[in-house]
């Protein structure tokens, strides 16, 4: 019966809605019946609920087309807060609250805002989000009572901390919401594009999620609405007003206010407005700053003069001076502020710090014309502050840096006052740790002010940095290094000496800074010679050696010397080693040799140029022991005796090797010392010592030379691998040098000299023959180290003269030659080991090099074809580095005695062995070498034979393009280019046609790139461009390696 009554009631409501013809009638019906109808949703009868839903569907259609019809929001809010209401009812109730609340007049929405807020407690989050979305646009229209207590009572949030927290979190998300929200797809919304994210904000990192938010928080604050920028800005303003109404505790709203301050929509203030800055200066300084400065200017009566602002106001105003260039240039107000806040009566530590920051700002942004009048006065004030402010380390630090910045802007105030920098160097050793850092920064900033000093000031600066570079305090040493590298030019000798001392510093920062300063500037032009018009980048060798020797002598007589075991040296080992290497750089630079700044390992590539310069120096000094060359040698010997090292030993080897006739004899009494180095634990030291031993041994008489060879040969059977290694190398270099002298210097004069001095320039002795045989036996040694050394020794002998061994049988003697010590047997042995899979590629490179050297020193070498064949068979090993070594060896073997490999690497340049056809090979040695082969192979009287051979060569290079190895393809493309150049105008068209036809008809996948290039060249109607395209497409990084770069 009750269900029938309910259905009858609903039918009557339905009828009333249907009969409502005007908006007023419909609004009256809705206002009266909407809340009771929603309550019927709690009915247990299915028919009742179904009827309610039918009625609501009809109502929704009517309301959707009539946005001005008001809903009974107040009754809906009461019904929504009813704790006895079932969830089905509340879910529909909030739908109509969301529909009706925005329809209300704004004053009515404001009145209902507290009621809306009361609905948040203990409701599902989707409901809370919907209610908060309704509240946010209203906050900007809320008028708060003036009484704080009434404001708090209006919302009673202090009684509901959960509600307060919910509201604060939602308002934070609203403040973070950008004016353009990127959807998860990443495309920006069309509306409000002008209010996008500022440039300083981080980019969205997760599918369009704004910074500081999550995807859920974005959805929570936006719902189904797309905020327009103007609407969102109004909402944010309302939130800030609401937060500032003293409803929440300060610590709860500070994050919100910070986010609000960072909003992209804010009014900008022009802090460089002259009128604004003038008013701020008047506020800060009072009207006392307006006293007349010109005769006849109006004065301000005493009773109208304003006193300066108080300290609290000044602290608030001062940060804005640090944002204004106009404030920094506002003279004389800026100067008055500096003195008022540093030394005035009404100041404090915070104002002093801000004043020093203001000076930093003036130095950074004020123009030269504006900063000039301040300079001397500000400098005096800062010096006074440093002298008086002993108790405030922070203040002193800022003052030190301020002086540094002032020196950077006004160097003329400092350039003649060395005393200023002297005080700073003293302070950096005495101040506390934090202040030292500030002084270091100041010294660094001041350094440029002391460039271009006059002679007297320069001498004072030299003494200053020299006295500080070895102080116990690291900051003083670092500052000395900085001044040595900044104040003086790179060719200034005393400052380079200071940097060399710092290279031995125990602090890595100081050591690396000094090393960088020394090596950062050496340059030479592309021809390897310096431009005489350009300033020298390194000191002269003579000046540098003389200065270093003088300082070394002084230190050896003082407490500054270092003890290394039983030896004393003038500098610590690190500094001494770097000094020797730097003198070698100076020597090379004066010789016209280009040394890369980052080249830490000296090499003999520029030795012939150094040889000419050393010869000149020796002639100038008359071979005096006080000449620069001998002083240089003495310093190296002093270092090697106490410390050793591969770098210094190479320097000694180089200086002796470039002029052995005059310098090697000085070491005949040092052979035992050199032999000790030959047995060193380091490979490179043994290598250098062995070369030096070979040079010196050849200056001995014949008897002594043979004894030396005998002793080294005996050492080959020593148990120590180091002794064996050094001895076999020593034998190779000594015998090789002997053969070179025999080949090049046996003249009438030499025979007379041999008669007088007994130099070892005679025929090959039995000792040497025995030594060569022992070296050959060592080729089979299982140790890669010793086998490689044997190769080096044998190659060194072979490139300087014929091996003192029988020729051997004709043809390949593998297994057919009973004598293992013949030239043919050596060829077979080397070729067999190259083919072996057991040895490393590094050893194989050495084996191939030795093979290539065999015909170089022997004009009558009969096994050249076997050597070439063996080298060509080495191509089976796929190793690019090895292939380039094979190429070098092939060139040497093919040229034989005409090869540049037979020269003295230290004194003779490679170009002396170049023919006219190969005069340009220094620029492109590979092109020259392949060009020679092509010229020889394609030379024939019959043109069809020449053309056929060029086609054959082109096809060979073309096959390389299908190889999987990039470098092989590169070689192929370069070879094709060389064939095209050699073809001549009469054959090029046919070569191009053949190449295009082969590429376009090929089916191999690896050729697809070349087909595309071929098509491109054809489209351009220039088929011959295919050669250039292939060369560009195939450039391999391997060509930049040290070994390959020569090609």
CATH number for the region 274-293+302-456 comes to 1.25.10
Query: Residue 431: exposed, middle, or buried by beta-carbon count in 10 A (0-12, 13-18, 19+)?
Result: buried
Q: What integer is the mean pLDDT of 128-141?
A: 92
Q: What integer is the mean pLDDT of 311-322?
A: 92
The per-residue pLDDT for range 488-517, each reduced to its tens digit, is 999 999 999 999 999 999 999 999 999 999
Question: For the chain, which residues make up each domain, given as ranges?
Answer: 2-187+205-261, 274-293+302-456, 511-658, 666-804, 805-913, 935-1040
pLDDT at 145 over 80: yes
Q: How confident is the model at residue 1002 (pLDDT cuts 50, 70, 90)?
A: low
Q: What are phi and psi of 880, to 5 degrees?
A: -55, -45
- C-alpha 431/C-alpha 84 separation (Å) is 77
In this predicted model, which residue has the larger pLDDT, 391 or 782? 782
DSSP 8-state code for residue 182: P
Q: Which residues pair with 567 in a beta bridge?
A: 564
Q: How confident is the model at residue 918 (pLDDT cuts 50, 70, 90)?
A: very low
* Predicted TM-score (pTM) of this structure: 0.74
**How do the residues of the chain divide into helix, strand and coil, expressed in percent and rounded to 5?**
70, 0, 30
The per-residue pLDDT for range 747-756, each reduced to its tens digit, is 444 444 444 4
Tokens describing residue 165: 């927290």
The alpha carbons of the chain give a radius of gyration, in whole angstroms, of 46
- C-alpha 63/C-alpha 216 separation (Å) is 31
pLDDT at 819 over 80: no
User: For residue 589, which of 653, 513, 673, 530 has the smallest C-alpha distance?
Assistant: 530
Q: How confident is the model at residue 808 (pLDDT cuts 50, 70, 90)?
A: confident
Residues in the chain: 1047
**pLDDT for the residue numbered 1047:** 46
Cα separation of the two ends of the chain: 109
**pLDDT for the residue numbered 133:** 92
Other C-beta atoms lying within 10 Å of the C-beta of residue 889: 27
- C-alpha 480/C-alpha 458 separation (Å) is 14
Residue owning tokens 């000085």: 666
Residue owning tokens 């090959």: 764
> Residues 6 or more apart from 765 whose CB is under 8 A from it?
702, 706, 709
Query: Residue 493: exposed, middle, or buried by beta-carbon count in 10 A (0-12, 13-18, 19+)?
Result: middle
**pLDDT for the residue numbered 59:** 85
Distance of CA 603 to the CA centre of its chain: 27
- C-alpha 981/C-alpha 950 separation (Å) is 11
In this predicted model, which residue has the larger pLDDT, 357 or 743? 357
Other C-beta atoms lying within 10 Å of the C-beta of residue 13: 22
Q: Which residues pair with 759 in a beta bridge?
A: 701
- C-alpha 809/C-alpha 61 separation (Å) is 115
In this predicted model, which residue has the larger pLDDT, 401 or 188? 401
**pLDDT for the residue numbered 391:** 78
The per-residue pLDDT for range 540-582, each reduced to its tens digit, is 999 999 999 999 999 999 999 999 988 999 999 999 999 999 9
**pLDDT for the residue numbered 190:** 41
Residue owning tokens 């083919």: 835
Q: What integer is the mean pLDDT of 803-816?
A: 67
pLDDT at 346 over 90: no
DSSP 8-state code for residue 701: B
pLDDT at 1037 over 60: no
**pLDDT for the residue numbered 848:** 94
**pLDDT for the residue numbered 916:** 44
Q: What are phi and psi of 838, to 5 degrees?
A: -85, -25
- C-alpha 572/C-alpha 896 separation (Å) is 49
* CB 327 within 8 Å of CB 321: yes
pLDDT at 936 over 60: no
**pLDDT for the residue numbered 914:** 56
Cα within 13 Å of Cα(1003), Cβ side: 0
Distance of CA 665 to the CA centre of its chain: 49
- C-alpha 633/C-alpha 627 separation (Å) is 10
- C-alpha 975/C-alpha 277 separation (Å) is 74
pLDDT at 586 over 50: yes
pLDDT at 790 over 90: yes
Tokens describing residue 25: 């009638």
Average pLDDT of the residues of the chain? 82
**pLDDT for the residue numbered 144:** 85
**pLDDT for the residue numbered 818:** 54
Q: How confident is the model at residue 17 (pLDDT cuts 50, 70, 90)?
A: confident
The per-residue pLDDT for range 989-1001, each reduced to its tens digit, is 666 776 666 666 6
Cα within 13 Å of Cα(638), Cβ side: 24
pLDDT at 186 over 80: no
Q: What are phi and psi of 941, to 5 degrees?
A: -70, -30
The per-residue pLDDT for range 708-724, each reduced to its tens digit, is 999 999 999 999 999 99
Q: What integer is the mean pLDDT of 284-299?
A: 61
Query: Residue 234: exposed, middle, or buried by beta-carbon count in 10 A (0-12, 13-18, 19+)?
Result: middle
The per-residue pLDDT for range 217-275, each reduced to its tens digit, is 998 998 878 888 899 999 999 999 999 888 888 899 999 998 988 888 776 788 899 99
Residue owning tokens 């929200």: 181
Q: Torsion angle of alpha carbons 524, 530, 534, 540, nearest 10°?
A: 100
pLDDT at 945 over 50: no
- C-alpha 598/C-alpha 603 separation (Å) is 13
Cα within 13 Å of Cα(496), Cβ side: 28
In this predicted model, which residue has the larger pLDDT, 44 or 415? 415
- C-alpha 851/C-alpha 864 separation (Å) is 10
- How far, CA to CA in Å, does 151 sit from each of 141, 144, 158, 248, 250? 15, 6, 11, 11, 15
Query: Residue 729: exposed, middle, or buried by beta-carbon count in 10 A (0-12, 13-18, 19+)?
Result: buried
Other C-beta atoms lying within 10 Å of the C-beta of residue 1029: 18
Tokens describing residue 299: 């004065």
pLDDT at 290 over 50: no
Q: What integer is the mean pLDDT of 15-37?
A: 83
pLDDT at 530 over 70: no
In this predicted model, which residue has the larger pLDDT, 547 or 534? 547
pLDDT at 199 over 50: no
Which span out of 261-270, 504-513, 817-826, 939-948 was modeled with the highest average pLDDT? Answer: 504-513
Q: How confident is the model at residue 956 (pLDDT cuts 50, 70, 90)?
A: confident
């Amino acid at each position: 019966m009750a269900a029938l009554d309910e259905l009858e009631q609903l039918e009557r409501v339905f009828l009333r809605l249907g009969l409502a013809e005007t908006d007023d009638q419909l609004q009256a019906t809705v206002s009266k019946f909407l809340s009771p109808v929603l309550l019927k949703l709690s009915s247990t009868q299915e028919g009742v609920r179904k009827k309610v839903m039918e009625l609501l569907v009809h109502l929704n259609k009517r309301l959707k087309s009539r946005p001005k019809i008001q809903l009974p929001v107040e009754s809906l809010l009461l019904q929504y807060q009813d704790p006895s209401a079932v969830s089905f009812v509340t879910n529909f109730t909030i739908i109509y609250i969301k529909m009706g609340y925005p329809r209300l007049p704004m004053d009515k929405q404001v009145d209902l805002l507290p009621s809306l807020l009361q609905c948040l407690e203990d409701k599902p989050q989707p409901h809370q989000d919907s209610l908060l979305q309704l509240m946010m646009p209203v906050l900007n229209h809320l008028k708060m009572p003036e009484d704080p207590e009434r404001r708090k009572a209006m919302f009673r949030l202090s009684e509901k901390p959960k509600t307060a927290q919910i509201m604060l979190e939602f308002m934070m998300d609203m403040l973070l919401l950008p004016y353009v929200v990127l959807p998860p797809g990443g495309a920006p919304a069309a509306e409000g594009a002008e209010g996008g994210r500022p440039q300083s904000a981080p980019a969205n990192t997760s599918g369009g999620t704004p910074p500081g938010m999550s995807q859920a928080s974005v959805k929570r604050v936006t719902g189904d609405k797309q905020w327009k920028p103007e609407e969102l800005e109004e909402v944010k303003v309302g939130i800030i007003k609401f937060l500032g109404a003293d409803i929440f505790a300060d610590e709860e709203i500070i994050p919100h206010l910070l986010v609000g301050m960072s909003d992209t929509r804010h009014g900008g203030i022009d802090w460089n407005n002259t009128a604004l800055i003038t008013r701020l200066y008047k506020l800060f300084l009072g009207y006392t700053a307006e006293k007349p400065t010109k005769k006849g200017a109006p004065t301000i009566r005493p009773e109208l003069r304003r006193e300066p602002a108080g300290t609290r106001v000044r602290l608030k105003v001062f940060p804005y001076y640090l944002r204004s260039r106009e404030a920094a240039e506002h003279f004389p107000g800026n100067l008055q502020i500096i003195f008022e806040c540093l030394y005035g009566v009404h100041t404090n530590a915070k104002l002093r710090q801000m004043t020093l920051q203001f000076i930093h700002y003036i130095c950074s942004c004020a123009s030269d014309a504006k900063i000039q009048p301040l300079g001397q006065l500000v400098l005096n004030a800062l010096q006074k502050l440093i002298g008086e402010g002993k108790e405030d380390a922070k203040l002193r630090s800022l003052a030190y840096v301020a002086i540094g910045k002032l020196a950077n802007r006004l160097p003329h105030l400092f350039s003649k006052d060395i005393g200023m920098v002297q005080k700073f160097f003293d302070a950096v050793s005495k101040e506390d740790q934090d202040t030292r850092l500030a002084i270091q920064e100041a010294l660094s900033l001041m350094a440029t002010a002391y460039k271009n000093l006059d002679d007297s000031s320069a001498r004072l600066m030299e003494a200053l940095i020299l006295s500080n570079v070895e102080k116990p305090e690291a900051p003083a040493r670092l500052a000395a290094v900085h001044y040595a590298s900044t104040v003086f030019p790179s060719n200034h000798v005393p400052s380079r000496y200071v940097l060399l001392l710092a290279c031995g510093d125990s602090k890595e920062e100081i050591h690396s800074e000094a090393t960088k300063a020394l090596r950062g500037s050496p340059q030479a032009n592309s021809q390897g010679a310096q431009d005489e018009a350009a300033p020298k980048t390194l000191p002269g060798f003579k000046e540098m050696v003389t200065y270093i020797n003088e300082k070394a002598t002084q230190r050896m007589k003082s407490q500054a010397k270092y003890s290394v075991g039983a030896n004393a040296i003038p500098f610590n080992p690190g500094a001494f080693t770097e000094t020797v290497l730097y003198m070698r750089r100076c020597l090379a630079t004066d010789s016209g040799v280009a040394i890369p700044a980052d080249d830490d390992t000296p090499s003999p590539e520029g030795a012939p140029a150094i040889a000419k310069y050393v010869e000149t120096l020796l002639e100038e000094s008359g071979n005096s022991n006080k000449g620069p060359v001998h002083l240089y040698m003495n310093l190296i010997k002093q270092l090697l005796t106490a410390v050793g090292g591969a770098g210094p030993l190479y320097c000694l080897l180089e200086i002796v090797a470039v002029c052995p006739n005059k310098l090697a004899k000085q070491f005949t009494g040092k052979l035992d010392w050199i032999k000790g180095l030959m047995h060193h634990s380091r490979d490179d030291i043994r290598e250098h010592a062995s070369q030096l031993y070979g040079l010196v041994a050849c200056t001995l008489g014949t008897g002594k030379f043979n004894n030396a060879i005998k002793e080294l040969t005996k050492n080959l059977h020593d148990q120590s691998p180091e002794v064996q290694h050094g001895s076999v190398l020593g034998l190779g270099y000594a015998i090789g040098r002997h053969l070179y002298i025999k080949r090049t210097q046996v003249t009438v004069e030499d025979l007379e000299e041999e008669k007088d001095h007994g130099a070892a320039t005679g025929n090959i002795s039995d000792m040497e023959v025995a030594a060569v045989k022992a070296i050959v036996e060592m080729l089979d040694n299982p140790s890669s180290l010793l086998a490689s050394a044997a190769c080096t020794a044998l190659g060194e002998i072979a490139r300087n003269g014929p091996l003192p061994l029988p020729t051997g049988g004709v043809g390949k003697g593998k297994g057919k030659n009973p004598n293992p010590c013949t030239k043919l047997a050596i060829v077979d042995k080397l070729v067999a080991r190259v083919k072996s899979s057991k040895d490393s590629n590094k050893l194989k490179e050495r084996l191939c090099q030795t093979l290539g050297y065999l015909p170089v020193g022997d004009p009558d070498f009969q096994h050249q074809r076997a050597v070439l064949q063996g080298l060509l068979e080495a191509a089976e090993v796929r190793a690019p580095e090895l292939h380039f070594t094979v190429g070098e060896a092939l060139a040497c073997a093919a040229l034989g005695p005409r090869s540049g490999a037979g020269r003295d690497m230290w004194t003779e340049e490679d170009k002396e062995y170049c023919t006219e056809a190969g005069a340009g090979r220094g620029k492109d040695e590979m092109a020259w070498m392949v060009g020679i082969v092509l010229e020889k192979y394609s030379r024939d009287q019959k043109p069809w034979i020449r053309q056929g051979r060029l086609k054959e060569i082109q096809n060979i290079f073309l096959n390389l393009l299908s190889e999987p190895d990039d470098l092989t393809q590169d070689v192929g493309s370069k070879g094709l280019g060389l064939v095209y150049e050699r073809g001549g105008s009469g054959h090029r068209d046919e070569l191009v046609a053949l190449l295009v036809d082969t590429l376009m008809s090929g089916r191999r996948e690896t050729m697809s790139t070349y087909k595309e290039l071929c098509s491109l060249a054809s489209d351009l109607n220039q088929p011959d461009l295919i050669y250039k395209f292939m060369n560009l497409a195939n450039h391999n990084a391997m060509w930049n390696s040290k070994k390959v770069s020569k090609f």
